[in-house]
Structures are given as C-alpha cells and as structure tokens.
Amino acid sequence: MFGKLFLLFAVIPVAEIYVLVSVGGVIGVLPTVALVLLTALAGAHLARMQGLAVMMRIRENLAQGFMPAEELLDGLLIFLAGMTLLTPGFLTDIMGLLILLPATRNIFKRWLRKKFDEWRQNPNVHITFYR
C-alpha cells in the first residue's frame, strides 16, 4: 500500500513536471499553460455532460425498480476522470480522457468489477501498526 501511495503522491507529480517542462521547451511556456488550461476546461465540460447523462440513467433505472449497478460504476469512473482532468498536467489529462471515453472506460469498469468481486470474496481487513 505504501508503494501505491508513494507512486500517487511522488512519482506522478515528478513525471508531470518533467513532461510539462519538456513540452514547454518545445512549444513555449504560454502555449503549454494554455494547452493545460484548455484540456482542463474541455475535460471538465465532457465529464459534466457524461455525469449528467449517467445521473439520468440512474434515475430511470431506479424509477423502473432496477438496481443501477453499471451506471454507479460509470458515475464513479466519470468522477475520477474529472478529478484527474482538473489536475494540471498532460499525463493526468490523458488518463482522465481514457477513463471518460466510453470504449476505454469499459476496460476500467471490467477491472473495477473484478476488484470488487475479489474484495467481496476476501473481506478480511488487515490493520498493521508500525512502531
């Protein structure tokens, strides 16, 4: 778990800085900043549109008495995609767009479903104390 958190909070930002500096060296500082802002705005808009569509499907399923399990997974993934798109950087933007696109989101959904099944089959919680 520590390795995953280290990756999330240390390695990814360093990689983002490297990519931003590299792109800035090629196309310039202002175009790089503009591109980052543009991808954040476009991604937030796309995430909002898809989030509203999923919300409507959830309401329809609930009104018909069906459990909206797939739609809830879509909503979770769209939320995560929106968060990564609002994080400045090209790598997180690429990841966010991959999660937002329905074709690639299905891959993430399959992986998440598999993880949920594993957690359900092995519901043990392990707490480790470090002294």
pLDDT tens digits for 27-37? 999 999 999 98
The pLDDT tens digits of the residues spanning 86-123 come to: 888 899 999 998 999 888 999 999 999 998 888 888 87
Would you place residue 9 in the very low, low, confident or very high pLDDT band (cuts 50, 70, 90)? confident
Would you place residue 124 in the very low, low, confident or very high pLDDT band (cuts 50, 70, 90)? confident
Predicted TM-score (pTM) of this structure = 0.79
DSSP H or E run through 75: helix 69-86
In this predicted structure, what is the pLDDT of residue 66?
93
**Do residues 87 and 44 make contact, with C-beta atoms less than 8 angstroms apart?**
no
Helix (H, G, I), strand (E, B) or coil at 88: coil
Give CA–CA dist 105/82, Å, rounded. Answer: 13
Query: Torsion-angle region of residue 57: left (phi > 0), alpha (psi -120 to 50) or beta?
Result: alpha
